[in-house]
Chains A and B, each alone.
Chain A
Amino acid sequence: MTDEITTNQTLFDRFQGQRDSNPLFYYSLILGILSLLAGLIFGMVNRIASQAFFYDIAIILLAMSIIGYTMTEHFQSLIKPGVDWFTKQYQQWKILILIAIFLIILLISYGLALITPINFLSQSYLAIILAGDLIFVSVGLTMIIRVRKFANFAHSELVIVGVYAGITFNEIMGSQGGEWYTMIFVELIVAFMGAGVVGLLSEIFVFGPLTRRNATPLSLMVASIGLGMIIRQSIQEYHGAVPRTFSPVFPNFFDNLTNIPVLNIFFQEITLLKLPGGVNLSLNRTDLWGFLIMILTIATLQYIFTNTTIGISMRATADDPELAQITGINTQRVIYFTWFISSGVTGMGALFLFKSAQIQPGSGFIQLLLIFAVVILGGFDSFKGTVVSGFIISFTMTGAIIFNSKMGERQKESELIDKMVFWSTSGDWKLVIAFAIIIVVLIFRPRGIFGLVDPKSKL
């Protein structure tokens, strides 16, 4: 049985181990019905602004496609050796089918974008980029939770350490801007090393001693809050609370490469795609590089986890530390390695998460609950879940922004609706929606989409 599955399962699937049943089906069914209802209500309220009705169809279609995807996942979990032709075919062509579904969504949404006032395509682009950044900073937390089994609230400070490592490095080198060491590829290494070392030190001085004294996950969590405060205030003491920007700088030779036909989107600062129907989509090379590096990093992590000794020891330590120690694994070293890698990756992601934002030592903390939303929705200890839920959270947030602007339009048209609807359009609701997901998930399905660990069981 295992052979059959491993042939086609992704690496992350193997990492998951066996599952009794696939929860995705029920989950997506609820999600689909909910978004269907939302779409209908949206459509009904929308009678005043009739054009936007089409956007509602888009939402419903998106939800349906998620249902479709997860339905097939559900079938896949039912596969046993020697089952029917259809499921085997699906297993073989799984990735192609997924790409096809994605393309169909893209085409439909593009078609809708032609007739709806909102530029759906560019909103989707922004959502995808945001999802990439979120996944980049969240994947480290997933690793830590998997190996160390507690919720690290200092993770947001590792994010901010990544950015401030770059700033400090530039200050120490006396940068005037434009030197070789200010290039993004050098800064990524600096951010990796800075955040990695901080993560390693936190294990050596805080979490290690606590675990050796049999601390509960809760007191580890409280300790991580204290640690986060120490890191945040130390940065503030050194750099001050003045807002700064730290946007990635690209090498000059990129300008010579802008003539390459398709790949020039990676080298031009901004590419403006003029699509038929008057739809414009502007691509930023920083976004694209961030997404690319995120994919490369996660692929590397996959490779490390599945094909190297240290990765296998890591998984063994995560499953049962004592048993791993008996089989001769130096679990202490494995834990240190995990901290270094996961914190380093988080630091790298921070450079892209804050690429166009004003940063302060406290701005990492604002991202903390968002990162937790991604990790909880995906299942506390699942990489695959983190990737999927990164997209879900980011699209939901974008949906909230669009909904907000649409409600704003409608409230301008009708004072009655303004009084009736509990939704002040001047506010920023995207975080409310994202946080509401955490609560809903933890109440109805605490192990998340892909998680293995039941929160009522022993971690």
Chain B
Amino acid sequence: MTTDDNELKEIKKRDMKEDLTPIEKYRSTILALLFGVPVISLFLYPVFFENAGTGYFIDTFSFLFIYAAISLTLNLEIGYLGLPNFGKVAFIMVGAYTYAIVENTGWTVLGLPIWIMGLIMAGIMTGLAGVVLTLPTLRLREDYFAIVTIVGGEILRLIFNNETSLGGFSGFPVSNVIYQQREVGEKLGGVNFELEPFIFAIIIGIVSLLVFQYYQKKYAEVFEQNSTIIKYSLQKAITVSIILGIVAIYMNFTQAMFSSSIILDIFAIGFPLLLTLLKSMDEFLNGLSVNHVWMTYGGSYALVLLSFIIGLINGRGVSDISVVSWYFMLVTAILMLIIYVILQEIYYSPFGRTMRAIREDDTSAMAIGKSVFEFRLKGLVVSNFLTGIIGAIFGWLLTNVTPQTFLPQVTFLLYIMVIIGGTGNNKGVIFGAIVVQLLIQTTRRLTNLDLYYPYTDRPIHPINLALILTGVVLIVFLIYAPEGIFPEQRKHNDRYYEMLNLHRTDAEELKSNPVLNFLVKASGTSIDELTKEELYE
């Protein structure tokens, strides 16, 4: 190794912040535990100490996943694009209302089922609404844009509220498609947690991990780059787990091994389905990111863990869960995961890179010929299309779409989720959404506990206290850690260091070099960001 290479390594080491103190290194984990543990224990409180029914779990989780999905799309707007869309709730409303209107009129083309037609129309109409509401205002400064969107959303809500031909005050009824597919009223009586699927999941995990390690060693002799090794060995591991997942589905259908357990359904449907999806995406895009794989593993194991907890609670003999709400929760969870994958894909694509460059400095982006307006518009259309579909599914959950559901406060809560979680970081946003939504749903539940302040007859309202706490946490985060619990990952781009032959200079000097800055921005990225494809190519 030459001295130049050593120097470069040192600079990279310093830039990658490898010599951090433990607290700095595990900051996100500490903060996540600090927020997550109390909220989750508060959530579990009514179940273990009040003997509450488990139906409340399922509804809470459905809300949770839907809010997480919406805040992910909101993250596309604030985190990627830097556009503060404060009318988010209006787009959810347009989606839900479009679905409701399609369903109530029964309008469809090409013989499509009405619910598919409704979802497509919800997406398209919301995308169009995004264009109509934001097109004239995209050129405004951030805070003016925020006010226009919040007011536009409120106008839409008032029109829906006032106009009787659009449902008026009482809104439209919506039927849940999942509920139609299965018989309503079917209860999960006496379903206990079964060990077999859990063990099977663990077996698949261990086998695929072993396969991964085996191929990692094998490929280490063939390839030089570490990323290439990881990529190919992960592909092998995924293939193995897909085969095992198909076996699990087959066994579940034939009921050869297990009884017809919902838990197995989660595992057997959710897990391989996502992996297959990713596998096809992988081939399609000719590139696979580690993030997807970890998310898929993490997501499916979280589902298994969730079923473990709920099975445990269900085993206590209190079961008021209907099968359909189970399936609905499953649908929302998979929806959230799919949206996560889509957004992650956008994040590392050239489109996402340009969006982030615009967020950092729109003037430089404009200077190298990127149409800022066009990219913002495209980003908003994508985000609103997804929001519309989620809104339609939110309508399924609500069963009655009314204007009173879509108050501006919903948008504010979504913002709090995104900011606490970490703007620009999808994982953080999901975490923020889960924590805030769990806190609110749980405290709403705790209202009937009849607590009083000491020495007075003033009742304690846990929901108020939770909202006060959320506000305080938001402000504390804005002051002391504006980047949130999970900050956006910013990595350095080796290519530019080497290409410009500037790596021998000091890193600080390098970062303040105007020529380099301009060139880096001119390529549609930012100096602090690493193109992901570099890592895997």
Write the residues of chain A forming the contact surface with B, with a CB cutoff of 8 angstroms: 150-151, 206, 209-210, 213, 215-219, 221-223, 225-230, 233-234, 236-238, 365, 369, 372-373, 376, 422-424, 426-429, 431-432, 435-436, 438-439, 442-443, 446, 455-456
Contact = CB atoms under 8 A, between A and B. Distances in A.
A237 B465 contact: yes
A435 B90 CA distance: 15
A77 to B, nearest CB: 25
Interface stretch (B133-141, B209-217, B265-273, B526-534): B133-141
B155 A435 contact: yes
Interface centre among A218, A238, A365, A456 (most CB of B within 10 A): A218
Contacts of B150: 369
B281 interface: no
Interface stretch (B55-63, B158-166, B173-181, B426-434): B158-166
17 contacts: A151-B147, A213-B479, A216-B142, A218-B143, A221-B146, A222-B419, A222-B478, A226-B470, A229-B412, A422-B163, A423-B163, A424-B164, A429-B158, A431-B158, A432-B158, A438-B148, A455-B140
Contacts of B151: 369, 372-373, 435, 438-439
Interface in B96-142: 136-137, 139-142
Contacts of A238: 458
A210 B479 contact: yes
Contacts of A456: 139-141
Interface string B65-92: 0000000000000000000100000000
A455 B141 CA distance: 6
Interface string B370-397: 0000000000000000000000000000
Interface in B148-206: 148, 150-152, 154-155, 158-159, 161-165, 168
Nearest to B458: A238
Contact of B143 (A151, A373, A438): A151
A233 B413 CA distance: 14
Contacts of B158: 427-429, 431-432, 435
Interface of B: 84, 136-137, 139-144, 146-148, 150-152, 154-155, 158-159, 161-165, 168, 409, 412, 415-416, 419, 458, 460-461, 464-465, 467-468, 470-472, 474-475, 478-479, 482
A423 B409 CA distance: 27
Q: Among the interface residues B137, B143, B162, B464, which one has the most CB atoms of the partner chain A within 10 A?
A: B143
Contacts of B84: 218, 221
Nearest to A422: B163
B237 to A, nearest CB: 42
Contacts of A442: 137, 140, 144, 147-148
A236 B475 contact: no
A431 B161 CA distance: 12
B475 A223 contact: yes
A372 B136 contact: no
Contacts of B467: 229-230, 233
B133 to A, nearest CB: 9
B457 to A, nearest CB: 12
A455 B147 CA distance: 12
B144 A223 contact: no
A222 B84 CA distance: 10
Nearest to A437: B151
Contacts of A426: 162, 164, 168
B164 A217 contact: no
Contacts, number: 135
Nearest to B415: A222
B162 A427 contact: yes
Contact of B464 (A217, A236, A446): A236
Given A432-B159, A439-B152, A443-B136, A218 B144 contact: no
A21 B462 CA distance: 56
Contacts of A228: 471
Contacts of A446: 140, 144
B143 A226 contact: no
A376 B147 contact: yes
A439 B143 CA distance: 13
Contacts of A428: 158, 162
Contacts of A376: 147
A435 B154 CA distance: 8
A210 B165 CA distance: 47
Nearest to A234: B468
Contact of A369 (B154, B161, B478): B154
Contacts of B464: 233-234, 236-237
Contacts of A230: 467-468, 471-472, 475
Given A432-B159, A442-B144, A424 B168 contact: yes
A372 B86 CA distance: 15
Contact of A223 (B141, B148, B164, B474): B474
Given A230-B468, A443-B136, A236 B461 contact: yes
Nearest to A431: B158
A270 B292 CA distance: 72
Contacts of B472: 226, 230
B278 to A, nearest CB: 35
A146 to B, nearest CB: 15
A103 to B, nearest CB: 36
A252 to B, nearest CB: 34
A292 B198 CA distance: 75
A217 B475 contact: no
A238 B162 CA distance: 34
Contact of A233 (B143, B154, B468): B468
B137 A226 contact: no
A227 B168 contact: no
A443 B154 contact: no
Contacts of A236: 461, 464
Nearest to B459: A240
A225 B155 contact: no
B340 to A, nearest CB: 24
Q: Which 3 A-B pairs have the closest CB atoms?
A: A427-B162, A230-B471, A226-B474
B474 A222 contact: yes
A217 B472 CA distance: 19
A372 B147 contact: yes
A206 B142 CA distance: 21
Nearest to A372: B147
A209 B481 CA distance: 12
B477 to A, nearest CB: 9
A237 B475 CA distance: 20
Nearest to A423: B163
Nearest to B158: A432
Given A439-B151, A443-B136, A150 B162 contact: no
A75 B465 CA distance: 57
A286 B106 CA distance: 55
Q: Which of A219, A365, A422 has the most CB of B within 10 A?
A: A219
A367 to B, nearest CB: 12
Given A215-B482, A233-B464, A442-B148, A226 B155 contact: no
Contacts of A151: 143, 146-147
Contacts of A210: 478-479
Nearest to B148: A442
Contact of A237 (B159, B461, B470): B461
A236 B84 CA distance: 29
A438 B471 contact: no
A439 B154 contact: no
A454 B470 CA distance: 34
A229 B468 contact: yes
A431 to B, nearest CB: 6
B389 to A, nearest CB: 26
A91 to B, nearest CB: 34
Contacts of B478: 210, 215, 219, 222-223, 226
A237 B479 contact: no
A439 B141 contact: no
Nearest to B453: A237
A432 B479 CA distance: 35
A209 B479 contact: yes
Contacts of B144: 442, 446, 455
Nearest to A230: B471
